[in-house]
């Protein structure tokens, strides 16, 4: 054993508390040096806009476009053929189609299945919300009403059932909160990226970033056919007086930023780029 290590050993045998101090100090130093550098992503973000939320999470936020506030269906084509009574719009003769068109968006609406209960399966409280007038999320009285699963309430019609059945009984109000990513097409009409939907039914997640296979017809497979980047929202008339209220939409644009430099670690005045 060398003189040095011998003396070290001896010292520490003699003063064991010194060893603890050395260990404690080295732990502190290690953690300080681990925290000394800050990761910076090199993106210059645009300042996010300010939105004032509604009084409740169901009420329209300040940047929402209200499509139905209980008074009239003036913002919809064919709205005059649906009945509006006591703040509720009842599906009537033919679909209604919003005057305004939307791409990526957040859609809130509330709906109630008819009372007294009439019919069964697809014949009970059937309607539907069509994003871009093409892609249906089913509206149906699915409270104790068996039908094919990819046709029950919250289904993307003929493509997927909802993950769970979160229906309230007929006469009570259901809410849909829908998060829509529109499909993208190139100039030649080729699909560049499909549509995605996330949906919450009465506070319950039922679809999580589901990738649509195309549109949602009854009589043929789903397919994508080029259409403009925005399209109207339509609500189906399937012969049942489903009630709707509190319909609003927010156009959605993600936070924007520009990569102005490579990501780097900043440690005091020293900046070290992170290589790919
Ligand atoms: Mg339907």
Three-state SS sequence of 225-256:
CCCCCCEEEEECCCCCCCEEEEEEEEECCCCC
- Measure the CA–CA gap between 210 and 196, rounded to whole angstroms: 5
Distance from the alpha carbon of residue 259 to the mean position of ligand 1, in angstroms:
45
Tokens 């007929």 identify what position?
Answer: 170
Distance 177 CA to ligand 1 centre (A): 17
Residue 273, CA distances (Å) to 34, 38, 82, 224, 276 in order: 17, 12, 62, 43, 9
- Give the separation between CA 185 and CA 132, rounded to whole angstroms: 14
Q: Is the pLDDT of residue 164 over 50?
A: yes
Q: Which residues contact 133 (CB under 8 A, 6 or more apart)?
A: 97, 231, 232, 233, 234
The pLDDT, as a whole number, for residue 275 is 86
82 close to 238: Cβ distance less than 8 angstroms: no
pTM of the model: 0.86
Q: For residue 219, how far is its CA from the centre of ligand 1 (angstroms)?
A: 13
- Cα(216) to centroid(ligand 1), Å: 10
Which residue has tokens 């609406």? 109
The CA 273 to ligand 1 mean position distance, Å, reads: 54
Tokens for 245, please give them: 């209220």
Output the pLDDT for position 4: 43
pLDDT value at residue 227: 98
pLDDT digits (tens, 9 = 90+) for 86-128: 999 999 899 999 999 999 999 999 999 999 999 999 999 999 9
Query: Ligand 1 centroid to 128 CA: how many Å?
Result: 4
272 CB contacts (<8 Å, ≥6 apart)?
Answer: 37, 264, 265
Radius of gyration for the alpha carbons in the chain, expressed in angstroms and rounded: 29
Q: Which residues have a beta carbon within 5 Å of ligand 1, which is an ion?
A: 126, 128, 236
211-269 pLDDT, tens digit each? 999 999 999 999 999 999 999 999 999 999 999 999 999 999 999 999 999 999 999 99
Query: 165 vs 48, 147, 242, 243, CA distance in Å?
Result: 36, 12, 18, 19
Expressed in angstroms and rounded, the spacing between residue 238 Cα and the centre of ligand 1 is 7
> CA distances (Å), 131 to each of 42, 82, 154, 230, in order?
37, 19, 13, 10
Distance 94 CA to ligand 1 centre (A): 12
Distance 79 CA to ligand 1 centre (A): 18
Which residues neighbour 251 within 8 Å (Cβ) at sequence distance 6 or greater?
Answer: 65, 102, 103, 104, 105
């Amino acid at each position: 054993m060398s003189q040095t290590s011998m003396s070290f050993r001896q010292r520490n045998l003699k003063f064991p508390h010194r060893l603890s101090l050395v260990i404690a100090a080295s732990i502190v130093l290690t953690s300080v040096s681990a925290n000394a550098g800050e990761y910076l992503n090199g993106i210059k973000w645009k300042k996010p806009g300010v939105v004032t939320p509604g009084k409740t999470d169901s009420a329209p936020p300040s940047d929402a476009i209200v499509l139905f506030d209980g008074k009239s269906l003036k913002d919809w084509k064919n709205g005059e053929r649906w009945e509006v009574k006591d703040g509720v719009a009842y599906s009537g003769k033919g679909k209604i189609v919003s005057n305004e068109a939307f791409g990526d968006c957040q859609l809130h609406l509330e709906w109630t299945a008819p009372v007294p209960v009439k019919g069964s399966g697809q014949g009970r409280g059937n309607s539907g919300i069509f994003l871009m007038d093409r892609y249906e999320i089913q509206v149906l009285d699915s409270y104790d009403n068996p039908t094919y699963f990819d046709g029950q309430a919250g289904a993307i019609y003929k493509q997927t059932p909802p993950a769970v059945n979160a229906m309230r009984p007929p006469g009570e109000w259901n809410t849909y909160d829908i998060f829509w990513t529109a499909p993208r097409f190139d100039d030649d009409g080729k699909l560049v990226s499909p549509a995605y939907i996330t949906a919450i039914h009465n506070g319950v997640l039922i679809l999580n970033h589901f990738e649509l296979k195309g549109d949602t017809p009854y009589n043929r497979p789903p397919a994508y056919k080029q259409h403009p980047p925005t399209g109207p929202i339509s609500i189906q008339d399937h012969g049942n007086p489903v009630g709707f209220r509190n319909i609003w939409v927010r156009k959605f644009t993600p936070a924007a930023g520009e990569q102005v430099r490579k990501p780097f670690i900043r440690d005091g005045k020293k900046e070290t780029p992170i290589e790919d």
